[in-house]
Amino acid sequence: MTAEKLPMIISAAVLGLAGFLGYNFIYLPRQEQVAQLQMRIAEERSMQQEQADVAKLMAEFDQLRARLPKEPDPSWLAQEVAALSQQAGIQLANLSQELPQAREDVLHLAVALEFSSPYHQLGTFIDLIEQSEYFLQVEHLDMSPSLVAYTGRVDPVVRMVVGTWYVPPVRGLPGPTARAAQP
């Protein structure tokens, strides 16, 4: 080896060693940190998206919950059905509240009705029940013909059961639902 090549060999060795050390002790650890940060950013974005989805579902839940009775009292349902029958021009002959029945975590509320009306008014009444701002459903409908003497028409006697569900407030959920559930 000549003296002229010795500084180049030492420079190359130092440069190689510096490159090796820089790559293994600086670049690789930083790349691992960058990969961890990118993974945490992806997790955070995913969590934020999930939180937004939950918030959207809770808003929908609160809107739907507003269509359910606030209390497990069947008299509310009886009043609502009586008001709808008046809107349809139907005079109820009998309106009775059925006993609430517990099913899993909800309470079933129902009222039984009996009335006589033309088919058109019956259809209007059922439509009003279906279009109600509350979740109401016709659970049973039985019709039998009855002669109305003064008109000469046959209007059916209708026996109907209209029901809904009471769902107690869910504790531990964010938003108005949780506020309603707190005593």
pLDDT at 1: 59
pTM above 0.85, yes or no: no
End-to-end CA distance of the chain: 91
User: Does the 74-166 domain belong in CATH 3.30.70.60?
Assistant: yes
| Rg over CA atoms, the chain | 36
Query: Is residue 181 predicted with pLDDT exceeding 70?
Result: no
Mean pLDDT of 165-169: 85
Mean pLDDT of 8-23: 79
Burial class of residue 78 in the structure, from the number of CB atoms within 10 Å of its CB (0-12 exposed, 13-18 middle, 19+ buried): buried
- Percent of the chain exceeding pLDDT 70 equals 87
Average of per-residue pLDDT values in the chain: 84
- Where does the pLDDT of residue 153 fall: very low under 50, low under 70, confident under 90, or very high at 90 and above? low
pLDDT at 131: 92
Instruction: Average the pLDDT over each of 5-14, 111-120, 150-159 and give the range with the smallest value.
Output: 150-159
